[in-house]
Amino acid sequence: MFENLTADLRASQEDRVLEKNMGLWRVFFRMETPAIVCYRFGHWAEKVEIPVVGTLLRIAAGIFQRFVQILIGVYISPDAEIGPGLVIHTPFGIVVGPNKIGEHCTIQNGVVIAAGTRGIGDNVYFGAGAKVMGGAKIGNNVVVAANSLVLTDVPDNMTVIGVPARIRLPGGRAKRFKWQTVKQKEQGTNGKESSAPAPANGHHNSQPQATVAPQASSQPEPASRN
């Protein structure tokens, strides 16, 4: 449990600048972190076979799960088999049934992965509002675009779009927009503004071009007289 949970927190730390600079403890203050901890704890408690201890742990996991559902709006079945690196990018309206999901899965808000899927591979990205229904199977390196409905199998290295998801584009790596602080954004825009106009708006380059042009046009006059 602790190894997978550490991998989940490390994966959540990658997209946030403050978490990288201030340490892993800051990830615990994110709203979606309790949902991941709740799933890992409940999944672990289901496998504890000690009679009294296992029962108490499962009761505690069930109470924890109800609080997560009410406060955060995320339900992940403790019977689901999810690999390390799980990232809930934005919470609320997330339902994950007892499915088998690979490593480094990213889920945004409004995602529903219903029970009965035949497996989800590694490095799968679910956009906001994406749905997976029926006995569909999703391969590795797949991006399910926002508000898409997957009803059929999706091969590896693919991006699927539509309701139902019939538009398939090659390449299944989601473009990650890393979070930045306001100061870093201002520094980035100022750097672009200072570097881009320099060669185009140099006053020393524009004035000689205006003076040289008439001189070049006045030189051929003696040749026209001859």
Query: pLDDT tens digits, residue range 147-195?
Result: 999 999 999 999 999 988 887 887 777 665 544 444 444 555 454 443 4
For the ranges 22-36, 101-115, 130-144, 200-214, which has the lowest average pLDDT? Answer: 200-214
How big is the CA angle at 152 (ends 149 and 154), to the nearest 5 degrees? 95
One-letter-per-residue 3-state SS of 95-160: EECCCEECCCCEECCCCEECCCCCCECCCEEECCCCEECCCCCECCCEEECCCCEECCCECCCEEE
- Averaged pLDDT, 98-119: 93
Top-tier CATH class for 2-170: mainly beta
216 vs 20: which has the higher pLDDT? 20
- Averaged pLDDT, 31-58: 91
Portion of the chain with pLDDT greater than 90, in percent: 50
44 vs 208: which has the higher pLDDT? 44
Of the ranges 12-21, 80-89, 207-216, the best mean pLDDT one: 80-89
- Averaged pLDDT, 46-57: 91
- Report the distance separating Cα 147 and Cα 100, nearest Å: 22
86 vs 202: which has the higher pLDDT? 86
- pTM exceeding the 0.85 threshold for the entire prediction: no
Nearest to 148 by CA among 156, 11, 158: 158
Confidence (pLDDT) at 8: 74
Within 14-74, residue ranges assigned H as helices are 17-22, 33-45, 51-71
Confidence (pLDDT) at 113: 95
Nearest to 94 by CA among 138, 36, 140: 36
CA distances in angstroms from 225 to 2, 215, 218, 222, listed in the order given: 93, 18, 13, 5
pLDDT of 203 > 50? The answer is no
Confidence of residue 23 (pLDDT cuts 50, 70, 90): low
* Domain boundary assignment for the chain: 2-170, 182-221
pLDDT of 18 > 60? The answer is no
pLDDT of 143 > 80? The answer is yes
137 vs 177: which has the higher pLDDT? 137
Average pLDDT taken over every residue of the chain: 77
